[in-house]
Structure 1
Amino acid sequence: MSATADNDTETEVTARRILALALPALGVLAAEPLYVLVDTAVVGHLGALPLAGLALGGTVLSVLTSQLTFLSYGTTARTARLFGAGRRAEALGEGMQATWLAIVVGLVVLVGGEVFADSIARLLAGDTAAADAAARWLRIALLGAPAILITLAGNGWMRGVQDTVRPFHYVLAANLLSAVLCPVLVYPMGLGLEGSAIANVLAQYTAAVLFLRALLADGALRAPDVSVMRAQMVLGRDLILRSLSFQICFLSAAAVAARSSAAAVGAHQIVYQLWVFLSLILDSLAIAAQALIGAELGAARLERARRVAWRIMRYSLALGLVLCVLFALLAGVLPRVFTSDPAVLAQIPAAWWFFVVQQPVAGVVFALDGVLLGAGDTAYLRTTTLACALGAFLPLIWLSWAFGWGLAGIWIGLTMFLVTRMVAVVWRTRSSAWTVAGA
């Protein structure tokens, strides 16, 4: 490739190009939690029991689907390399195989969930009315499992071909439909809690149909290819183990906070949900990194891939610093938006300042996570994330319980988790091990 062609392509990877990918991706990431807030508000007016059922059932569905995000992140990595190599038709074929895999796995989740819905609900809530309500909601919501996974795969392949606008439109349309249907089905039609689940399922299939239509419109219809799906599952194994380490640590943190006091768990929930929200903002840049890095490596532009990696990291670090300053200034105001309970407010500072100082670190970690995911370096991410989670985060959580360190101990653990991950991803990005050329 000539130097001129190289430079021409480089000019496209600017801040504007990165934002063009990141901002629609942020819309996709934010749509689901915003809809959950609407759903919660609608069901909340039915009373405490339906709200408990929604909370428990929604948690189960969220945990199940979050373990399968490899259909999105893994597909982006594989598709972006093919796209960067100028093999768009094969990239779309990769999206088709990910969609077939989503349908198969979604049916397995559906059948297994229907069989064990009652048992899972009772395990979480005991043999109570809340468990019955959760099982009723979950049995309906699980009908949408194949559609949820088709949407994950759709987001994956579209990000890989550097199209984040259409997924935003699809997910926005589905969530707006659900936001309209949910109150109608719950109240005027009198379906109650079950109406919420039905609205969820209809929205999920709306998004899935839109992603399937996009595949067909782009001429990507292919028969199932077991060898490709097997390769996607190998990539998925690493990402599932990585995600599982997160789940274990965050569930442990909630359990330890709950064993401290009701005020401690309330304070932890407020700060943790804000942490999750800011993670979505930072993750939008990581998604841009996945798409751009995969394409650069697929086109064998290794030096440019390194430059793009560090450029996105600098943008993400700057965003993290802005969030750090902003939430430091909001420390005396924002917690009162979520609670007026004096005991909860008294506990929040023990977590708040760790949450604030973490943001620049998280900016670096999430951006370089995206870089290494885009490079398909999932085995390294799996190993180091497990080591950081089980070697730094989890021990500090349970030591916090054993020695009565309270929320401060839990959030020190999360801080150490991020710091050790930052060291791991910076070291890896500085090496040449991840810059493997080709589709």
Structure 2
Amino acid sequence: MFLLADAAIVGHLGTPELAGLGVAGAVLQTAVGLCVFLAYGTTASVARRVGSGDVRGALAQGVDGVWLAVLIGTVTTVAGVLLAGRLVGLFGAGPAVDVPATTYLRLAFLGVVPLLVMLAATGVLRGLQDTRTPLVVAVVGNLLNIVLNLVLVFGLDLGIAGSAIGTDLAQLGSAAALLAVVVRAARREGAPLRPDLAGVRRAAHAGVALVVRTLTLRASLLVTTYVAASLGAASVATHQLALTLWTFLAFALDAIAIAAQALTGRSLGAGDREGTRAITRRMVQWGVGSGVITGVLLAAAAPLLGGLFTTDPAVRDLLWPVLLVAAVFQPVAGVVFVLDGVLIGAGDGRYLAWGGIAVLAVFAPLALLAGHLGSGPGAGLTWLWAAFGVGFIGSRAVVLLHRARGTAWMVTGG
């Protein structure tokens, strides 16, 4: 919802600004996405300890994850602010896009620390089987983000800079709310709040495989943005909208995967392999069903969605065929996200890392080839998304289904 709100508001500033948000968003999501292990890894490890009966140890490990988020966020912020212009320039989108992209990215990096704290704190609460608190904070935070963006972008006429500032402030408030809940739970169980260096190192070491896994996935998405940017400003603006909508639906499907992380971790922590297998089957069923529903809804809404985000007729015309292609692969994406969550919950990060490398090796050449197919940028963008469905989503499905059928990932104990 943060991404959709930003795209809807910035899109009405003009196509260069929307394209700039697309480039800046690709960089920022990559930097933050590499740290998603702060949520995913923490969810799995906290849930496993809860399953084994060690709630105090679970919270202590969660607090160490929050401190790790602060450390990584600080380093990322400094590097991102200093290198924003160079990172944007790597996409070669041109001066008209580079200026708003650099403005947005430099300011958005100031919100990375609270964003990473949000990830870690949310992971702790999910591991404790509490998804209600993150839901409440997310709803309030998104409403605040929309209000702040409208006031700063249009009310104070700050343009794309106002969108970044508004999002930073909303993320700061959300992080503070989640952190307060985690601290209160830690105090209730007698878990320490000070950073334990050994615990922080363990959290970092456990996250290495998930970082590699996420790096390969983000690299695949960056390849799509790079190819789209080579097709012109209208294509990269269209790609930004399509990717934002796809990401929104991905997070909707990922809700089932997150439940799979928490339930798988708790079940394996309690030593229940049969229960784990039953959870996996049920989650895959939910993933397929949800993918079918979201795919049908996306296909039905595809001709109408462009007008919600931009007044540029070229972007609107390019968007709907791309969304139709994305809709076709939603059921497969549902299975992919669920099985990814199951294996993360089981702590099977090493396999996910090697699987991600294999997927990138298959998808990258297909994406680069797709950009040169067709007679114009519209055809090239549609072929790019077809390659995304087959080479990225399809390859991930093969890799994850192969692993899930075996038992090597079902390691039990706290």
Deviations 1:268-295 (A, max 9, x none): 5554444323222211111111111111
Q: Show the counterpart of 1:384.
A: 355
Q: Show the counterpart of 1:400.
A: 370
What is the alpha-carbon distance in structure 2 between the residues aligned to residue 344 and residue 130 of structure 1? 19
Q: Show the counterpart of 2:122.
A: 155
Contact 1:85 / 1:299 at 8 angstroms: preserved in 2?
Answer: yes
The CA deviation at 1:310 is 0.7
Contact 1:267 / 1:348 at 8 angstroms: preserved in 2?
Answer: no
What is the alpha-carbon distance in structure 2 between the residues aligned to residue 126 and residue 409 of structure 1? 17
Q: How does 1:212-223 map to 2 (within 5 A)?
A: 212-218=179-185, 219=187, 220-223=191-194
Contact 2:65 / 2:120 at 8 angstroms: preserved in 1?
Answer: yes
**Compared CA separation, residues 409 and 217, structure 1 to 2 (3 A):** closer
What is the alpha-carbon distance in structure 1 between the residues aligned to residue 305 and residue 160 of structure 2? 31
**Compared CA separation, residues 55 and 427, structure 1 to 2 (3 A):** closer
Q: Show the counterpart of 2:386.
A: 411
Deviations 1:326-347 (A, max 9, x none): 4455566666777884797478
Q: Show the counterpart of 1:69.
A: 36
Q: Show the counterpart of 1:26.
A: none
Query: TM-score under structure 1 normalisation?
Result: 0.81
Q: Show the counterpart of 2:293.
A: 322
The CA deviation at 1:214 is 1.1
Contact 2:47 / 2:263 at 8 angstroms: preserved in 1?
Answer: yes
What is the alpha-carbon distance in structure 2 between the residues aligned to residue 410 and residue 50 of structure 1? 23
Contact 2:6 / 2:149 at 8 angstroms: preserved in 1?
Answer: no
- Report the identity percentage: 37
Q: Show the counterpart of 1:238.
A: 209
Q: Which moved more, 1:92-101 or 1:428-437?
A: 428-437
Tell me the amino acid that sits aligned with residue 279 of structure 2.
V
What is the alpha-carbon distance in structure 1 between the residues aligned to residue 268 and residue 83 of structure 2? 43
Q: Show the counterpart of 1:34.
A: 4
Q: Show the counterpart of 2:227.
A: 256
What is the alpha-carbon distance in structure 1 between the residues aligned to residue 144 and residue 411 of structure 2? 43
The CA deviation at 1:129 is 7.0
Q: Which moved more, 1:205-214 or 1:247-256?
A: 247-256
**Compared CA separation, residues 215 and 268, structure 1 to 2 (3 A):** closer
The CA deviation at 1:63 is 2.4
The CA deviation at 1:213 is 1.0
The CA deviation at 1:314 is 0.9
What is the alpha-carbon distance in structure 2 between the residues aligned to residue 221 and residue 141 of structure 1? 32
Q: Show the counterpart of 1:103.
A: 70
What is the alpha-carbon distance in structure 2 between the residues aligned to residue 420 and residue 240 of structure 1? 19
Aligned residues: 404
Which blocks of at least 5 consecutive residues in structure 1 are unaligned? 1-30
2:167 to 179, 192, 200: 200
The CA deviation at 1:236 is 2.0
The CA deviation at 1:109 is 1.1
Tell me the amino acid that sits aligned with residue 176 of structure 2.
V
What is the alpha-carbon distance in structure 2 between the residues aligned to residue 421 and residue 80 of structure 1? 25
1:180 aligns with 2:155: no
1:306 aligns with 2:295: no
Q: Show the counterpart of 1:229.
A: 200
Deviations 1:351-405 (A, max 9, x none): 5554333122112111111111111111111111210221x21121223346668
- The higher radius of gyration belongs to 1
Contact 1:101 / 1:229 at 8 angstroms: preserved in 2?
Answer: yes
Tell me the amino acid that sits aligned with residue 330 of structure 2.
Q
Query: TM-score under structure 2 normalisation?
Result: 0.85
What is the alpha-carbon distance in structure 2 between the residues aligned to residue 48 and residue 342 of structure 1? 10
Deviations 1:122-153 (A, max 9, x none): 54568947645544444433232211110010
What is the alpha-carbon distance in structure 1 between the residues aligned to residue 404 and residue 144 of structure 2? 42
Which blocks of at least 5 consecutive residues in structure 2 are unaligned? none
**Compared CA separation, residues 306 and 173, structure 1 to 2 (3 A):** same
What is the alpha-carbon distance in structure 1 between the residues aligned to residue 401 and residue 36 of structure 2? 24
Contact 1:354 / 1:415 at 8 angstroms: preserved in 2?
Answer: no
**Compared CA separation, residues 435 and 345, structure 1 to 2 (3 A):** same
Contact 2:7 / 2:241 at 8 angstroms: preserved in 1?
Answer: no
Deviations 1:179-204 (A, max 9, x none): 22333344555555444333222222
What is the alpha-carbon distance in structure 2 between the residues aligned to residue 342 and residue 140 of structure 1? 29
What is the alpha-carbon distance in structure 1 between the residues aligned to residue 199 and residue 320 of structure 2? 48
What is the alpha-carbon distance in structure 1 between the residues aligned to residue 314 and residue 165 of structure 2? 39
**Compared CA separation, residues 112 and 300, structure 1 to 2 (3 A):** same
What SS class does the counterpart of residue 80 from structure 1 fall into?
A: helix
Deviations 1:225-276 (A, max 9, x none): 2222222222322222222222222222333344457776566555444432
What is the alpha-carbon distance in structure 1 between the residues aligned to residue 343 and residue 408 of structure 2? 10
Q: Show the counterpart of 1:429.
A: 404
The CA deviation at 1:99 is 0.5
**Compared CA separation, residues 338 and 213, structure 1 to 2 (3 A):** closer
